[in-house]
């Protein structure tokens, strides 16, 4: 016989039971609006505070509100949607930092192109920029704490659901996935004994009784979801659940299998009449690949033109300093492990490109006098702008290594080959975090790979802009440059 356990939330009846659900859904709708209003209020407060201190008057509140509204709009356009109020915004503080800076870059560009930047006080905008982010993050933390507390206590909810499955699967689901923290109040649970999974007359009777009780609970309690927690291999039981539960107006979901924990993006797709489960997808969509390529081409071409006088001077100094070619070329792996020849200014007396490539170390005697300066300030990397223009590289991405090093690290470092799922870059997330120089231990390379994979999984144009800014301004970008 099916064992039925009803939890406390399921004992509520009448209008009072719907209050957490109403509040939860209302907050999910209010969240983006409230976030934008807070940005506008912070802009107004910054403008008034600055003008009271500098001019003994509050100034134009409407103008401050316009600046805040523009920043809020750009943040909304740039940010990725969050599915529920309980989900954490992507990357929390770090992501908010990217978003804030990208929104202000858009604001400055809009003001410059519209020829309206002169009408707004630079002091006001600067104070808003410096004070707005910490105050906004503080507001968001207070809001999220309120929401999480509401979800834990049952005072807020996005959904009310029933769990139907074996005792082991139900316990595992509640323990591992904590549905209450994702906005679902588990109002009722129906436990199906193991014999209910058998394709036999007795098993079918046990399963039908459990389904009958589940349907009765859903109709009496007006639930939103039924989560079926059965082994996917129990096709008879899963099909029976689908057949019976489709007679009630609820969302029916088949619970996850353990293998899903390995993959971050699992969804269904269609290929003609076939329904398939996608476990892995390319890191970038076609639109994202196109947008990144357009950004790379335009920015690298502009930079190439801007630094062309410097490139000529450096080329002349290299020829005068030591015998040999101006440029160093070496085969590297690009996107999808397609080989290409990387281009750098020659900084050493050797040009290794075979089965043995010795990495440069501190005070390496092979490094030329001018080469030491070029490597210290990353100037030797500038010719790679040509690799970006031709499409072999990107401005930002995992740094490419010599082919022999790639083969070696692939055998020693897990998921190392995933670095080639995106174009290599002149600079990268690992480099601006100080992870450059010789990789004489597996731990050093493992740290680089982890940063590269983080970049691949979290790519965005604002993140690229942030990494480029750090490449030029952060001391970490020049650490371990030998």
User: Could you tell me if 311 and 453 lie in one domain?
Assistant: yes
Report whether pLDDT(84) > 80: no
Report whether pLDDT(21) > 50: no
Which pLDDT belongs to residue 482? 61
Higher pLDDT residue, 5 or 208? 208
Residue 453 pLDDT class (50, 70, 90 cuts): very high
User: Could you tell me if 74 and 170 lie in one domain?
Assistant: no
* Two structure tokens written together for 203: 């098993």
Return d(Cα 482, Cα 480) in angstroms, integer: 6
What pLDDT digit, counting tens, does each position of 147-205 carry?
Answer: 666 666 656 656 788 999 999 999 999 998 888 766 777 888 999 999 889 889 999 99
User: Could you tell me if 333 and 388 lie in one domain?
Assistant: yes
Within a domain: 4:
no
**The last residue of a domain, from among 235, 261, 278:** 278
Within a domain: 3:
no
Which pLDDT belongs to residue 89? 40
User: Could you tell me if 118 and 167 lie in one domain?
Assistant: no
Q: Which is nearest to 61 in space by CA: 121, 107, 133, 104?
A: 121
User: Could you tell me if 344 and 367 lie in one domain?
Assistant: yes
Higher pLDDT residue, 27 or 75? 75
Q: Which is nearest to 46 in space by CA: 59, 36, 34?
A: 59
SS3 track for the chain = CCEEEECHHHHCCCHHHHHHHHHHHHHHHHHHHHHHHHHHHHHHHHHHHHHHHHHCCCCCHHHHHHHHHHHHHHHHHHCCCCCCCCCCCCCHHHHHHHHHHHHHHHHHHHHHHCCCHHHCCHHHHHHHHHHHHHHHHHHHHHHHHHHHHHHHHCCCCCEEEEEEECHHHHHHHHHHHCHHHHCEEEEEEEECCHHHHCCCHHHHHHHHHHHHHHHHHHHHHCCCEEEEECCCCCHHHHHHHHHHHCCCCCEEEECCCHHHHHCCCCEEEEECCEEEEECCCCCCCHHHHHHHHHHHHHHHHHHHHHCHHHHHHHHHHHHHHCCCCCEEEEEEECHHHCEEEEEEECCECCCCCCCCCCCCCCCCCCECHHHHHHHHCCHHHCCHHHHHHHCCCEEECCCCCEHHHHHHHHHHCCCHHHHHHCCCEEECHHHHCCCCCCCCCHHHHHHHHHHHHHHHHCCCHHHHHHHHHHHHHCHHHHCCCC
Which pLDDT belongs to residue 208? 93
Question: Across residues 452-466, what is the average pLDDT?
Answer: 89
Report whether pLDDT(145) > 90: no
Within a domain: 8:
no
Higher pLDDT residue, 11 or 324? 324
Which pLDDT belongs to residue 293? 95
Within a domain: 7:
no
Question: Across residues 328-337, what is the average pLDDT?
Answer: 93
What pLDDT digit, counting tens, does each position of 358-416 carry?
Answer: 777 787 889 999 999 998 888 999 999 999 999 999 999 999 998 988 888 998 898 89
Count of the separate structural domains present in the chain:
3
Higher pLDDT residue, 86 or 388? 388
What pLDDT digit, counting tens, does each position of 97-115 carry?
Answer: 878 888 888 888 887 776 6
User: Could you tell me if 74 and 192 lie in one domain?
Assistant: no
Q: Which of 245-259, 292-306, 335-349, 355-369 has the lowest mean pLDDT?
A: 355-369
Question: Across residues 301-318, what is the average pLDDT?
Answer: 95
Within a domain: 204:
no
Mean pLDDT value across the chain? 82
Distance (Å) of CA 169 to CA 229, 251, 261: 6, 19, 15
Which pLDDT belongs to residue 13? 35
User: Could you tell me if 183 and 107 lie in one domain?
Assistant: no
Residue 435 domain boundaries: 286-478
Within a domain: 205:
no
Which pLDDT belongs to residue 116? 67
C-alpha distance across the termini of the chain, in Å: 73
Return d(Cα 282, Cα 27) in angstroms, integer: 34
User: Could you tell me if 229 and 333 lie in one domain?
Assistant: no
**CB-based burial, 440-474: b 16+ in 10 Å, e otherwise:** eeeeebbbbbebbbebbebbbebbbbbbbebbeee
User: Could you tell me if 147 and 164 lie in one domain?
Assistant: no
Report whether pLDDT(246) > 70: yes
Residue 15 pLDDT class (50, 70, 90 cuts): very low
* 105-112 long-range Cβ contacts below 8 angstroms, 24+ apart: 105/465, 106/74, 106/78, 107/67, 107/70, 107/71, 107/74, 110/70
* Two structure tokens written together for 480: 């371990």
**The last residue of a domain, from among 278, 300, 317:** 278
What pLDDT digit, counting tens, does each position of 28-38 carry?
Answer: 556 678 888 88
User: Could you tell me if 465 and 325 lie in one domain?
Assistant: yes
Q: Which of 27-41, 302-316, 338-352, 421-435 has the lowest mean pLDDT?
A: 27-41
% of the chain surpassing 70 pLDDT: 84
**The last residue of a domain, from among 251, 278, 305:** 278
Return d(Cα 62, Cα 68) in angstroms, integer: 10
The CA radius of gyration of the chain, in Å to the nearest whole number, is 29
Question: Across residues 428-454, what is the average pLDDT?
Answer: 88
Residue 220 pLDDT class (50, 70, 90 cuts): confident
* Global confidence as pTM: 0.62
Return d(Cα 311, Cα 306) in angstroms, integer: 10
What pLDDT digit, counting tens, does each position of 263-291 carry?
Answer: 766 777 787 888 888 877 788 888 889 99
Which pLDDT belongs to residue 148? 65
Which pLDDT belongs to residue 95? 73
Specify which residues 341 forms β-bridges with.
331
């Amino acid at each position: 016989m099916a064992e039925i356990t009803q939890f406390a939330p399921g004992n509520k009846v009448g209008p009072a039971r719907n209050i957490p659900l109403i509040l939860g859904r209302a907050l999910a709708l209010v969240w983006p609006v409230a976030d934008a209003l807070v940005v506008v209020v912070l802009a107004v407060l910054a403008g008034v505070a600055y003008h009271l201190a500098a001019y003994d008057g509050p100034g134009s509140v409407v103008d401050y509100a316009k600046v805040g509204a523009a920043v809020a709009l750009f943040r909304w356009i740039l940010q990725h949607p969050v599915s529920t109020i309980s989900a954490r915004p992507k990357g929390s503080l770090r992501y908010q930092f990217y978003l804030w800076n990208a929104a202000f870059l858009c604001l400055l560009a809009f003001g410059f192109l519209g020829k309206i930047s002169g009408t707004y006080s630079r002091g006001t905008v600067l104070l808003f920029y410096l004070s707005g982010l910490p105050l906004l993050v503080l507001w968001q933390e207070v809001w999220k704490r309120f929401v999480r507390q509401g979800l834990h206590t049952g005072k807020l909810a996005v959904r009310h659901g029933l769990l139907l499955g074996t005792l082991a699967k139900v316990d595992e689901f509640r323990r591992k996935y904590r549905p209450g923290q994702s906005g679902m109040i588990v109002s009722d649970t129906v436990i199906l004994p193991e014999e209910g999974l058998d394709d036999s007359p007795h098993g079918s009777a046990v399963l039908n009784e459990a389904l009958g009780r589940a349907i009765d609970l859903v109709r009496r309690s007006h639930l939103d979801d039924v989560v079926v927690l059965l082994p996917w291999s129990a096709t008879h039981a899963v099909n029976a659940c689908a057949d019976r539960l489709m007679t009630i107006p609820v969302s029916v979901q088949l619970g996850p299998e353990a293998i899903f924990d390995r993959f971050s993006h699992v969804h269904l797709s269609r290929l003609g009449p076939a329904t398939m489960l996608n476990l892995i997808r390319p890191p970038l969509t076609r639109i994202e690949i196109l947008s990144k390529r357009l950004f790379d081409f335009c920015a690298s071409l502009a930079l190439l033109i801007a630094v062309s006088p410097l490139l000529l001077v450096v080329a002349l100094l290299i020829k005068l300093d030591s015998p040999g070619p101006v440029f160093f070329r070496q085969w590297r792996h690009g996107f999808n492990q397609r080989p290409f020849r990387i281009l750098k200014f020659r900084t050493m007396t050797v040009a290794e490109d075979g089965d043995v490539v010795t990495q440069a170390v501190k005070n390496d005697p092979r490094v030329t006098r001018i080469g030491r300066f070029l490597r210290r300030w990353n100037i030797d990397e500038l010719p790679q702008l040509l690799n970006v223009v031709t499409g072999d590289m990107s401005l930002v991405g995992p740094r490419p290594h010599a082919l022999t090093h790639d083969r070696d690290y692939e055998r020693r470092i897990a998921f190392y080959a995933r670095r080639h799922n995106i174009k290599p870059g002149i600079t990268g997330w690992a480099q601006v975090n100080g992870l450059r120089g010789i990789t004489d231990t597996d731990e050093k390379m493992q740290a680089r790979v982890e940063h590269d994979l983080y970049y691949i999984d979290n790519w965005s144009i604002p993140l690229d802009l942030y990494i480029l800014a750090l490449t030029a301004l952060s001391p970490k970008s020049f650490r371990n440059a030998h």
